[in-house]
A and B are shown apart, each in its own frame.
Chain A
Amino acid sequence: MCRQALEGVKIADFTWAAAGPLTMSYLAHGGATVVKIESGTRSGASRSFPPRGGEGGMISSMMFSNDNSDKLSISINMKNPRGVEVAKKLVLWADVVAENFRPGTMEKWGLGYAELKKINPSIIMFRSSARGQTGPDSKVAENGITLQSLTGFTSLTGYPDKNDPTPPWGAYTDLTAPALGAVMLIGALDYRAKTGKGQCLDLSQLEAGLQFLAPAILDYHVNHLCARRMGNASSYGVPHGVYRCSGNDRWCAIAIFDDREWKAFCRIMDKPEWLDDPRFATAIARKKNESELDHLINEWTVKHPVEEIMNLLQDNNISAGIVENSADILNDPQIKERQFFEKLEHPHLGSFFHHGVGFRLSKTPCNPRTPGPILGQHTEHVCRELLGLGKDEYENLVDAGAFT
């Protein structure tokens, strides 16, 4: 059995949807014991997204399994005082209590930071919410789709010749918030291990997302220039775009930044005359005539398969890559070689790919090991093995309706 970096770390995980669970995934993959506290009556929306398997309250989806691999699930009825009692036992057991409800929800259950600290003085409370725990709009509801617009990502995505931006697909802040939240959470765990001190961490998904737009924010604050969507153009590279290749909806990204690359590119396209063409001879001219140039490049790319263009350009040390769709990703030789996806056997859904993390640690692997749990799959295990309850005690709780 390999050693894992975060072995021994204990997390009572109340998070749901995507932004919270994806944060906890980094810790779960790193070896922390993450117990998802769920409810049969209020199961996270992503449990039921198709394709799915299982029935009724036991429903499982491929997406949920992907976002929650390596975690355990206990299903608690938080409306039952005996259920709340179990939740509080988990707080006492845990190093971290994590949640991403609308601010105020944990307080309603008597599980605000002040109460958690009474139960477990060295607890770390990790709170992730749309706009943070404080401020006039802290309780306004959001989801990942609206949040990426609130943060500014949508206004910066789209075609400049259209009246309106085009939203980035999905819920982009569900990537940015976990990526920064996990950094501080692991740091807080190390600090706690050394000093015995817990704390409350308040992540605003809006504020975390804005870090990824910082250059554009500074441009506005300093130069009063409000950045706009520019398709795939770069303010300095040219040509810099996505070009149509042969076949159905096949595209190649090409980015050229200097003269060497431009010369090689013209040679590959068999357009040596462009090197002397006043429209394209200099980088300044190419930028001025960018749309014309893009059009002409398209005339070349559309005759060739995207794989051929990528390889040809890369062989000449020019940055180029396939705009990969989901089939490309599943067949990508680089992804296969690095085993980014782990095929895990799910009891309801069969065997399918689960995503890992974007890094490999030489001594302490972080690959996914078990699929996302079925609702309440580990209720008894968590109560008996982790919380140390006796058989009678556990059965008592079952009879009292503590679990759903």
Chain B
Amino acid sequence: MASEKTRDNQTVLGGYRALDLTDEKGAMCGWALAALGAEVIKVEPPGGDPSRSIPPFYGGVPHPEKSLFFFAYNTNKKSITLNLETVDGRVIFEKLVRSADFVIESFKPGYMEAQGLGYSALDHINPRIVMTAITPFGQTGPYRGFKTSDLMCSAMSGFMYLTGDPDREPIRISVPQAYALGGAEGAIATMTAHYFRERTGEGQYVDVSIRESMLKTAPYSLPWMEKYGKLTKRSGPYWTLMGQNTRVHWPCKDGSVTFVLPAIKINPDLCRRFIEWMAEKGIIHESFNRIDWNHPDMASITPQIQNELESSILNLCKTLTRSELMEGLIARGITAAPVNTMEDISRNEQLRARDFWEQVEHGEMGASIPYPGAFIRATETPCVKKHRAPMIGEHNREIYVDFLGIPKKELVILKVAGII
């Protein structure tokens, strides 16, 4: 089933067309629709989408056709160039909307309306259209016009306040996450509207807030505030939930490993396995010897003893390499994972066994690059085979001449006038 790469013509969105006007803010939405088989046409301003200048780059040198960020989230898309701020550009866009099923955009709220291309205009042209806008805060509210950054969206989602050391500044995940999550929730919203459209024939307008899509990290700290007025704070290597700090991060000789420190009072059996392990290694706190680990007297388990268990396990970890530590944890039935780097991920056996990596040909660079494969395996409607991101305006001829029937002579006029 899932591990076979059966790639036939059965897809969820085969035959549907999306016009993707997004920059980095919504790229993942069109990326997901394209994986489901939709024909996703990136409509870029002449000169190319600004997200083509986001690092890292192929070979390390900045070039609009070599952004690995752009490569990652624009697979299976086509590209045309079109200046929406010109009359000709708008007329061409309106023609495209007639045959499109989705429009995805990530401009500042009000921009599409200012071009005469707001939802009411598009709905008038094509009432089946699903129009999805992906913006930092959504189309309404006092912050809707804010100048955006991924960092700001993460900061305002509650996620960063909780990540980092208590005495230092809050931090984010170094590979920016907010725009990606906003794009993914945008895809869910778009598919929800698509499902409705397929049953009723009615399109609708979808207003996605990137910050809200990341806010779901915060609600775990909200009950503590709502109910008790208490702030959950950053706790470095500890996991803080509902007022409890539990160590989850364990440095070892050559890296680190993640597992949740068991509480003696809740899970004495798991603790016993650590105690026996430490006894084998000769790292054992003498107070542990007084405890009958098979039937501990819970009244005698003080917070002090729990802390000693933590510091002893820390010492144990420091004597071991990451693979020794992982082996020992798994052998003892303790749920744990290595803190993997991208290098580790690239070598991961499980991913290879599942044939996860997908070679994508970049013919013009003479390169074939292993990309992350399908985001889900599906027996009936698998994600389509990956094709590299388009070059700027690569499909102008196909869309403008072959599809819309614009004579080549007019194409020259449009090019010179800066419209395509």
Q: Which of A5, A63, A257 contacts B219 (CB 8 A)?
A: A63
Q: Is there an interface contact between A212 and B175, defined as CB atoms closer than 8 Å?
A: yes
Residues of chain A within 8 A of B237, CB atoms compared = 164, 166-167
Instruction: With CB as the reference atom, state the residue of chain B lying closest to A192.
Output: B380
Q: Is there an interface contact between A234 and B137, defined as CB atoms closer than 8 Å?
A: no
CB distance from B33 to the nearest CB of A (A): 8
CB distance from A257 to the nearest CB of B (A): 8
CB distance from B180 to the nearest CB of A (A): 5
Q: Is there an interface contact between A221 and B370, defined as CB atoms closer than 8 Å?
A: yes
Majority SS of interface residues in chain B? Answer: mixed
Q: Which of A210, A234, A253 contacts B345 (CB 8 A)?
A: A210
Please encode chain B, from 333 to 347, with 1 for each CB lying within 8 Å of some chain A CB and 0 for all others: 001111111111110
Q: If the complex has contacts A152-B345, A253-B151, A338-B209, are A141 and B180 also in contact, measured as CB distance less than 8 A?
A: no
B363 CB within 8 Å of chain A: no
Q: Which of B218, B256, B353, B371 contacts A329 (CB 8 A)?
A: B218
Q: Is there an interface contact between A228 and B376, defined as CB atoms closer than 8 Å?
A: no
Q: Is there an interface contact between B248 and A167, defined as CB atoms closer than 8 Å?
A: yes
B43 CB within 8 Å of chain A: no
CB distance from B228 to the nearest CB of A (A): 7
Q: If the complex has contacts A155-B341, A323-B161, are A186 and B195 also in contact, measured as CB distance less than 8 A?
A: yes
Majority SS of interface residues in chain A? Answer: mixed
Q: Which B144-185 residues have a C-beta within 8 angstroms of A?
A: 144, 146-165, 168-177, 180-182, 184-185
Q: Which of B193, B202, B335 contacts A141 (CB 8 A)?
A: B335
Residues of chain A within 8 A of B353, CB atoms compared = 134-137
A385 CB within 8 Å of chain B: no
Q: Is there an interface contact between A175 and B181, defined as CB atoms closer than 8 Å?
A: yes
Instruction: With CB as the reference atom, state the residue of chain A lying closest to B203.
Output: A363
B220 CB within 8 Å of chain A: yes
CB distance from B104 to the nearest CB of A (A): 12
Please encode chain A, from 259 to 294, with 1 for each CB lying within 8 Å of some chain B CB and 0 for all others: 000000000000000000000000000000000000
Indicate the size class of the contact surface on chain B. Answer: 35 or more
B288 CB within 8 Å of chain A: no
Instruction: With CB as the reference atom, state the residue of chain B lying closest to A163.
Output: B251
Q: Is there an interface contact between A194 and B198, defined as CB atoms closer than 8 Å?
A: yes
> Which of the candidate stretches B52-60, B87-95, B299-307, B410-418 sits at the interface with the other chain?
B52-60
Q: Is there an interface contact between B380 and A337, defined as CB atoms closer than 8 Å?
A: no
Residues of chain A within 8 A of B36, CB atoms compared = 183-184, 187
Q: Which B341-370 residues have a C-beta within 8 angstroms of A?
A: 341-346, 349-351, 353-354, 356, 367, 369-370
B279 CB within 8 Å of chain A: no
Q: Is there an interface contact between B204 and A210, defined as CB atoms closer than 8 Å?
A: no
Instruction: With CB as the reference atom, state the residue of chain B lying closest to A318.
Output: B147
Please encode chain A, from 181 to 218, with 1 for each CB lying within 8 Å of some chain B CB and 0 for all others: 11110111111011001111111101110111111111
Instruction: With CB as the reference atom, state the residue of chain B lying closest to A137.
Output: B350
Instruction: With CB as the reference atom, state the residue of chain B lying closest to A128.
Output: B376
> Which of the candidate stretches A34-42, A77-85, A237-245, A395-403 sits at the interface with the other chain?
A237-245
Residues of chain B within 8 A of A168, CB atoms compared = 159, 163, 173
Q: If the complex has contacts A175-B217, A214-B371, are A63 and B223 also in contact, measured as CB distance less than 8 A?
A: yes
Instruction: With CB as the reference atom, state the residue of chain A lying closest to B168.
Output: A159
Max count, chain B CB within 10 A of own CB: residue among A61, A201, A223, A360: A360
Q: Is there an interface contact between A202 and B376, defined as CB atoms closer than 8 Å?
A: yes
Please encode chain A, from 287 to 330, with 1 for each CB lying within 8 Å of some chain B CB and 0 for all others: 00000000000000000000000000010011111111111111
CB distance from A330 to the nearest CB of B (A): 6
Residues of chain A within 8 A of B292, CB atoms compared = none
Q: If the complex has contacts A146-B336, A183-B188, A191-B12, are A218 and B68 also in contact, measured as CB distance less than 8 A?
A: yes
Q: Is there an interface contact between B155 and A362, defined as CB atoms closer than 8 Å?
A: no
> Which of the candidate stretches A86-94, A351-359, A369-377, A386-394 sits at the interface with the other chain?
A351-359
Task: Give CA–CA (A134, B160) in the complex, Å.
Answer: 35
Q: If the complex has contacts A150-B337, A253-B151, are A187 and B13 also in contact, measured as CB distance less than 8 A?
A: yes
Q: Is there an interface contact between B234 and A169, defined as CB atoms closer than 8 Å?
A: yes
Q: If the complex has contacts A152-B341, A226-B342, A353-B222, are A166 and B196 also in contact, measured as CB distance less than 8 A?
A: no
Residues of chain B within 8 A of A332, CB atoms compared = 156
Max count, chain A CB within 10 A of own CB: residue among B71, B161, B257: B161
Task: Give CA–CA (A202, B356) in the complex, Å.
Answer: 13
Instruction: With CB as the reference atom, state the residue of chain B lying closest to A359.
Output: B189
List 20 A-B residue pairs with CB atoms under 8 Å apart, sorted by A's residue number: A51-B224, A51-B242, A165-B339, A166-B164, A176-B184, A188-B381, A200-B1, A204-B376, A207-B351, A212-B180, A216-B56, A228-B341, A242-B170, A255-B152, A314-B147, A319-B148, A321-B156, A326-B158, A356-B212, A360-B138
User: What 7 pairs across the A-B complex have the smallest Cβ distances?
Assistant: A358-B213, A187-B12, A199-B380, A253-B155, A255-B149, A62-B223, A169-B162
